[in-house]
Amino acid sequence: MRISGRSFEHGNVLLCVLCTILVVSLIGGNVLLNCMTRYNVASSQVRSWKESLDAAETGGDIAYAEVRKKIFDPTHAFSGWTYSGGAYTNSPVTYGQDNLSTTSRVDPFYYDGNGNAWYRIRTKGTAPVLGLKRVGMDDRMGPNTRGDSLLRKIDFNYDHFVATYGPNGDGVGQTLLPVSQPQVSRRVELIAAPVTPFEAAIKAGGTFYGLGSAAYVDSYRSATGPYDPSVKTNPADPRYADSHAGTVEINGSVATIMGNIYGNLYTNGGTVTKKTTSISGIIDNNVPFSLSPFIMPSTAGWNYISSPAVINPNTTITPAAAGSADKPNYYLVNSFVNNGSLTVNPYTANGVPQETYVAVHVTSDIGSSNGQGPSITVPAHVHLDIYFDGNLQTKAENIVNTSGYASNLQFYAISPTDPNIQQTVNLSSGSGSTAGFSAVFYTPSANFTITGAPDITGAIVCKNFYTNGNIHWHYDRALDGQGDAVDYRVISYVEDIR
């Protein structure tokens, strides 16, 4: 009988143990379930969500690099990409141990007044969500509130974006596109804008010496009226702020500054040796920059005209069409003789002059050290860009830009490929002359020298700058958006959160 009693007691213990194990298992299971949910969210979903943005931005970098090649290496820009429907697209690029992938689509959506293309870069980055297909999102904020699923859109079976908005997000071509494994895709849209060269009155990548002790650099904005020398000393004038933007930027360590600068002065860790200098703005000695060599832009699409090929005395160009900033009338000139005289007339329609766009590429020097030097005359309505491979030497009074808008006459010095060749630009106003000009110069590889005391409206970008004259230099603030693109920068970033 005792055996029977003992058996009953053992069963009771077993029951207790089983119950305990059940309770502990329930708690353990609940803990594991919650841990898995958190783990899924933190380790898989959040990780994938962040990595997909990384992939999208990587695609943006890849596309941006191709856009920059349009300036620095035009023949290889978008090499290997597919061009269709006005847009470049690339094949998916896969990288990283998590097999992130990215694709990009680039289209020039806008051309500014200088003919520079603005590019829209749309990229998609995809990161796989590792593990099984679990809808384990952390959505438990309340009965009527959703959490992660509002923010993180995971494609478990189909690409929700393509199904709803189409592959390009424009509502065209919606389809059920199966995904091989759960994934998160994020999309960003970047705008790459051209960087134009004339952001300051004078920008020297090397050394700087000047100006004369009675010289000055000031500014104005042509959109608000013609230049008025009295504005810069009259704070009550509404144009006063625009008159103090005659900024000088020097990438050298030592700058010898004379005259008055109605603007800021930037150097690269340098020492400003002030003599008679008065600087109205700030002096910042920590503004480094670099000037990339300038290469001849692609002339594809330009309206090439074979004659004239030589600029002699009294050479006149009158185009048969107005052209446009991005498709100008294009002349290839192999000689610009020292006493050459070039006049470019506007195209007229019914006797009315039209805004006419002309580009001249001179493959030799323009002028030499002898004689009066070559002359260039640009009447109103003409927008002339001169590209030259060699040196430029003439007198300031030989540059005649009737409109007074510096952006209507632009000089671009194509950088020599031989580093031993030093390009030069020499402008002289002649003894005692104060005649000047309105023009801009982008000569990043050239030593730029101005002698005399010309009155100049415009901007200069050069390597080393030297002048000893009492120049009166007026920078037109409208120039900060003028000129050929010398680089690209991303100025807009939007994530497509659909």
Partner 1 sequence: MKIKSSQTVAGFTLSEMLVSLSLSSIVLAAAITSGVTLQKSFAAVDNYFSTQMQQIRIIDYLNRDVKRGLVVTTSVDLQSVTMSVPKYIIQAGDPEAIADPEAIGMARTPTVAYTTSGWQVNYSPSTTTVVYSISGNSILRTENGVITTIASSTDQLVPKSTDVELANTEYANTSVTFMPIFSSSGSVASRSGTSLYATAYLRNKRRG
Footprint of partner 1 on this chain (CB under 8 A)?
Answer: 1-2, 5, 23, 27, 30-31, 34, 38, 41-42, 46, 49-50, 109-110, 112, 118, 120, 138, 140-142, 145, 147-148, 150-152, 164-165, 169-171, 189, 191, 193, 221, 480-481, 490-498
Q: Which residue number, 171 or 351, has a Cβ lying nearer to partner 1?
A: 171
Q: Are 359 and 333 in contact (CB under 8 A)?
A: no
Q: Which residue number, 76 or 489, has a Cβ lying nearer to partner 1?
A: 489
Q: Are 414 and 296 in contact (CB under 8 A)?
A: yes
Residues 6+ apart with CB under 8 A from 31: none
Residue 190's closest CA among 95, 71, 107? Answer: 107
Q: Which residue number, 21 or 491, has a Cβ lying nearer to partner 1?
A: 491
> How far apart are the C-alpha atoms of 212 and 470, rounded to whole Å?
4
SS3 495: strand
Least separation in angstroms between CB 295 and partner 1: 24
Cα torsion angle, 191, 195, 196, 198, sign: positive
Q: Which residue number, 199 or 416, has a Cβ lying nearer to partner 1?
A: 199
Q: Which residue number, 78 or 165, has a Cβ lying nearer to partner 1?
A: 165
Least separation in angstroms between CB 275 and partner 1: 29
> How far apart are the C-alpha atoms of 207 and 462, rounded to whole Å?
10
Q: Are 237 and 194 in contact (CB under 8 A)?
A: no
> Which residue's entry shows tokens 């998590």?
98
Q: Which residue number, 41 or 376, has a Cβ lying nearer to partner 1?
A: 41
Residue 391: other Cβ atoms inside 10 A: 22
CA dihedral 326, 328, 331, 332 (to 10 degrees): 0
Least separation in angstroms between CB 120 and partner 1: 7
Q: Which residue number, 259 or 263, has a Cβ lying nearer to partner 1?
A: 263
SS3 464: strand
Residue 323 φ/ψ region, left for φ over 0, alpha for ψ in the -120 to 50 degree band, beta for the rest: left
Least separation in angstroms between CB 174 and partner 1: 11
Least separation in angstroms between CB 112 and partner 1: 7
Q: Which residue number, 156 or 493, has a Cβ lying nearer to partner 1?
A: 493
Least separation in angstroms between CB 455 and partner 1: 26
Least separation in angstroms between CB 430 and partner 1: 37
> How far apart are the C-alpha atoms of 419 and 212, rounded to whole Å?
31
Q: Are 114 and 196 in contact (CB under 8 A)?
A: yes
Least separation in angstroms between CB 339 and partner 1: 40
